[in-house]
Amino acid sequence: MTSKTVSTHDDAVLNRIFNPNLPYGDVVNETDEEHAPYLEEIETDDVKEAKLYEAEGVDAAEAGDLELSLNKFTLAIQVCPTRGSGYNNRAQALRLKGDIQGALQDLNKAIELSEGQGSAACQAYTQRGLIFKLEGEDEKALEDFKRAAALGGQFAKQQVVAMNPYAALCNQMLSEVMRKVKGGEM
């Protein structure tokens, strides 16, 4: 039987292969079933009802009815107050309505309920990171994007790269070189 332990060096090499756009030194820790508890939701009647309210809330938001959307997400939370998904969805509707503080409270609750694990946490960290970025709190945004990236969030990984000043400088220099090559200057 072989060991599944990976050395630190091998892990760094794998990280470079799977995350080539990240600057050296930045690490994205992927989670998987072997290294982190897999959070599978049990489909109780309450969960099914909450999911139905959430679907109706999404439909209402897409139709432009934020009040109905908020009501549906609130019903989902009342039916199943321990699910992070309802808080994530309501946070999105609150943000669209302009209630940033309410959105942040719901995102914090989603992170708390998920114990920082799984897709609900990934979505909450990503949404909260976006809010922080829009509010000019780049350090907090980057921290949340890194947490979401570690949970597998592809958009969050892109944000981590985009927010790295060294990566931005490298991308700018590479773009300039490519422009010169295409223009026949090099």
What is the predicted pLDDT for the residue at 29? 45
For 98, residues 6+ apart whose C-beta sits below 8 A from its C-beta are none
Q: Above pLDDT 90, what percent of the chain?
A: 60
Tell whether the model's pLDDT for residue 107 goes beyond 60: yes
Tell whether the model's pLDDT for residue 181 goes beyond 50: yes
Mean pLDDT of 120-138: 95
Per the listing, tokens 């756009």 go with: 21
Where does 33-153 sit in CATH, by number?
1.25.40.10
pLDDT single digits (tens) 18-34: 444 444 444 444 444 33
pLDDT single digits (tens) 142-177: 999 999 999 999 999 989 988 877 766 676 777 778
Tell whether the model's pLDDT for residue 117 goes beyond 70: yes
Q: Which of 49-53, 91-95, 110-114, 181-185 has the lowest mean pLDDT?
A: 181-185
What is the predicted pLDDT for the residue at 2? 43
pTM: 0.69
| Secondary element (H or E) of residue 54 | helix 45-62
What is the predicted pLDDT for the residue at 164? 78
The residue extents of the domains of the chain are 33-153
Mean pLDDT of 5-17: 53
